[in-house]
Amino acid sequence: MARMPIVAGNWKMHKTIAEARDLVNALKPQVADATGVEVVVCPPYTALAAVREAVAGSQIALGAQDVFWKEKGAYTSQVAPGMLTDAGCRYVIIGHSESRGRFGVPEPEMTEALLRWFGETDESVNRKTKAALAAGLIPIVCVGETLDERRAGQADAVIAGQVERGLAGLSAAQVAGMVIAYEPVWAIGTGETCDTPEANRICGVIRSVVARVFGAEAAEAVRIQYGGSVKPGNARELFSQPEIDGGLVGGAALEADSFAQIVKAAL
Ligand code: 13P
């Protein structure tokens, strides 16, 4: 069975409530006919409620950018899976490289200690993924290698390890229903895109890890996105690859026209 492509906008730390509403209102009519692709927007927490209202009645789904694995408790600053479903979220991004403290664009003011403070590990990704699934959310689990890892010939092994540890203990059915995003860290926010054949190859590596650990059916069903400088000009070529089932879009998702063009490129 063909996999439904999924294009998600990760707004990161952008947009006030009013700006978020404006963006979605401009986006809605542009993607109204794009019924062959799942469209997701992931605003910051502060704009979730407003965006939920704005997307009501459209086929645009709501997602969050992170989640904690506990249901409730003394975890200042954290947001529980049930709070996200309560806020109308269907999707949640987990393990983004920026949450893992791995940035595509070097941050000169960020010391090693500050980067570690972001604190995501494969184990926290695993806990968050299990908790999200238990709450009925669809996780978008991000994996990807740094430039140093790629240069050292370790990209495949790094990604395989992230997939195995991040998804450890899930059932085949859970994996079949989720989304994995391949985001090479060096291509995020840099304007550098991974070569299309290489992006397709790595998504195939991810699918083969899923096949080995969870079986052929899960591998056939799981949707694997590419993310990292996806733009209107390169989206169609990327999304036409057999292993790539849409994209996770940062900068180009902050503007309705460019995001709509990217959504349509997945049709
Ligand atoms: P850019 O599209 O800005 O490179 O960001 C990609 C990304 O990190 C999406 O999660």
Tens-place pLDDT, residues 152-185 = 999 999 999 999 999 999 999 999 999 999 999 9
Please tell me the pTM assigned to this model: 0.97
183 catalytically annotated: yes
96 catalytically annotated: yes
| Pocket test residue of 13, 40, 188, 226 for ligand 1, highest count of atoms within 8 A of CB | 188
High-pLDDT (> 90) share of the chain, %: 90
| Pocket test residue of 10, 146, 180, 234 for ligand 1, highest count of atoms within 8 A of CB | 10
What separation in Å is there between the alpha carbon of 264 and the centre of ligand 1? 18
What separation in Å is there between the alpha carbon of 10 and the centre of ligand 1? 7
Distance of CA 203 to the CA centre of its chain: 14
* Ligand 1, atom nearest to 253 Cα: 2
| 117: pLDDT strictly greater than 80 | no
DSSP state letter for 136:
T
Q: How far apart are CA 260 and CA 77, in angstroms?
A: 33
Ligand 1 contacts CB of residue 10 (under 6 A): yes
CATH architecture of the region 6-226+240-265: Alpha-Beta Barrel (3.20)
Sequence-distant (≥ 6) Cβ neighbours of residue 105 within 8 angstroms:
188, 189, 190
Residue 117 burial (10 A CB sphere; 0-12, 13-18, 19+)? exposed
193 vs 196, which has greater pLDDT? 196
Q: How far apart are CA 103 and CA 98, in angstroms?
A: 6
pLDDT value at residue 211: 98
| 1: pLDDT strictly greater than 70 | no
